[in-house]
Amino acid sequence: MTTTSIYQIIHQLMRLQTLPYANSTAVRGRQLQFDKLHAALDKRGYTGSRPSRQLKRMSVEVINAALYETDPMNTCCKENGLTEEYKTIASMVFQHIHHGMVMEAAIDQALCAIFGDHLVNGEQIERVMHELVGMSEG
C-alpha cells in the first residue's frame, strides 16, 4: 500500500478547489472529498500552508480577482485600481477549465496567448493558484 505524501494531498486539494462547477450533487461529493483530505492533513499534524477549507465556485470573477491580486504580469493594475485589467484572461481561463483543462495549464495558456510564452513562468502561475485556493505563501 502506498502512502500519499503531504504534497500530494495539498495538490489534490488545489485541484478540487479549482474544478469548474458541475452540479449540486458533484459539488457535495467534491466537498466530502475535500473535507476528507483536510482531515488527513490534520491527522498527520500538518500545520504548514494549505488551501482554504472552504470550497469556492470558480467563475470569471473569482479568477479575475486572483489575477488582479497577484498581478502576475506586473501590469501595475492594483496600483492603478484597474480591476478589469485581467478580465479577458480570466474569461479565457474559465473557458479552458470548462473544456477539461486543469487550472494551472489554463492560466499558463491564457497568459501566454496575451503576453507571449517568453514572459510567462511557473512562479507566476503558482502565485495565482495560491490566491485562487486561499493558500498563504509558505
pLDDT digits (tens, 9 = 90+) for 2-12: 578 999 999 99
- Average pLDDT over every residue of 18-37: 86
C-alpha cell at 112: 501566454
Task: Give the per-residue pLDDT at 125.
Answer: 96
Which residue pairs from 101-104 have beta carbons closer than 8 angstroms and sit at least 24 positions apart in sequence? Answer: 102/15, 102/18, 103/14, 103/15, 103/18, 103/58, 103/129, 103/132, 104/129
Given a contact cutoff of 8 angstroms between Cβ atoms, the answer to whether 13 and 34 are in contact is yes
Residue boundaries of the structural domains of the chain: 60-132
Given a contact cutoff of 8 angstroms between Cβ atoms, the answer to whether 69 and 131 are in contact is yes
Give me the percent of the chain exceeding a pLDDT of 70: 96
69/52 Cα distance (integer angstroms): 17
Q: What is the pLDDT of residues 86-138, one digit of tens each?
A: 999 999 999 999 999 999 999 999 999 999 999 999 999 999 999 999 985 43
- Binning pLDDT at 50, 70 and 90, where does residue 1 land? very low
Secondary structure string (H, E, C) spanning 74-117: CCCCCCCCCCCCCHHHHHHHHHHHHCCCCHHHHHHHHHHHHHCH
